[in-house]
């Protein structure tokens, strides 16, 4: 007697197909959840250093009238020797010194330790920076993975029946 067409072989095949569909759903769901991202950019802005008068009498008068300026955002200080000091909490820019809690990095950006201030005559430039998130690109880049995630969840739910 021959085995019926819808016997154990086709039942085994259906179970195998359910496993494949379930595995595919899990892979798609994992891939979609791992591909979520946000688009960011760094905005750099130079912080101007004050120019001092060359005349000594004018310089004395200028320095007496000048009070330290506080910068409350994080910024980098580029030094004459090529190293960089990062003040993540901001610092105070005084007449002869920048004062604050910072971290110094050498020219290869290897950490050199913490500093409490920098002499102003060793400063070449000051640079503030902000991390900006682009909401339009973030939505666009996450739309397709979101749709794939919904499709994967649907496949997983339907294959569980």
Does the domain at residues 40-133 carry the CATH identifier 2.30.30? yes
pLDDT tens across 68-103, in order? 788 888 899 999 999 999 999 999 988 788 999 999
> Could you give the residue range(s) of every CATH 2.30.30 domain in the chain?
40-133
Confidence (pLDDT) at 18: 73
Helix (H, G, I), strand (E, B) or coil at 36: coil
Mean pLDDT (whole number) for 14-35: 66
Maximum pairwise Cα distance, the chain: 118
pLDDT in tens, 119-138: 988 988 888 877 777 778 77
Give the pLDDT confidence score for residue 85 in this predicted structure: 96
Distance CA 112, CA 99 (A): 18
Check residue 102 and give its pLDDT: 95
Residue 140 has pLDDT above 60, yes or no: yes
Average pLDDT over residues 6-19: 63
Nearest Cα to 127, choosing from 43, 17, 38?
43
Confidence of residue 150 (pLDDT cuts 50, 70, 90): confident
């Amino acid at each position: 007697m021959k085995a019926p067409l819808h016997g154990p072989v086709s039942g085994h095949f259906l179970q195998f197909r359910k496993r494949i569909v379930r595995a595919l759903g899990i892979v798609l769901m994992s891939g979609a959840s791992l591909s979520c991202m946000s688009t960011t950019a760094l905005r750099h802005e130079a912080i101007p250093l004050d120019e001092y008068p060359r005349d000594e009498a004018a310089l004395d008068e200028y320095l007496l009238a000048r009070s330290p300026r506080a910068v409350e955002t994080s910024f980098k200080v580029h030094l004459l020797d090529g190293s960089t000091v990062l003040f993540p909490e901001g610092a105070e820019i005084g007449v002869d010194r920048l004062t604050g809690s910072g971290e110094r990095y050498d020219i290869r950006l290897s950490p050199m330790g913490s500093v409490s201030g920098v002499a102003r005559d060793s400063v070449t430039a000051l640079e503030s920076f902000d991390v900006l998130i682009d909401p339009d690109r973030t939505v666009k880049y996450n739309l397709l993975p979101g749709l794939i995630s919904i499709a994967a969840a649907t496949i997983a739910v339907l294959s569980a029946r």
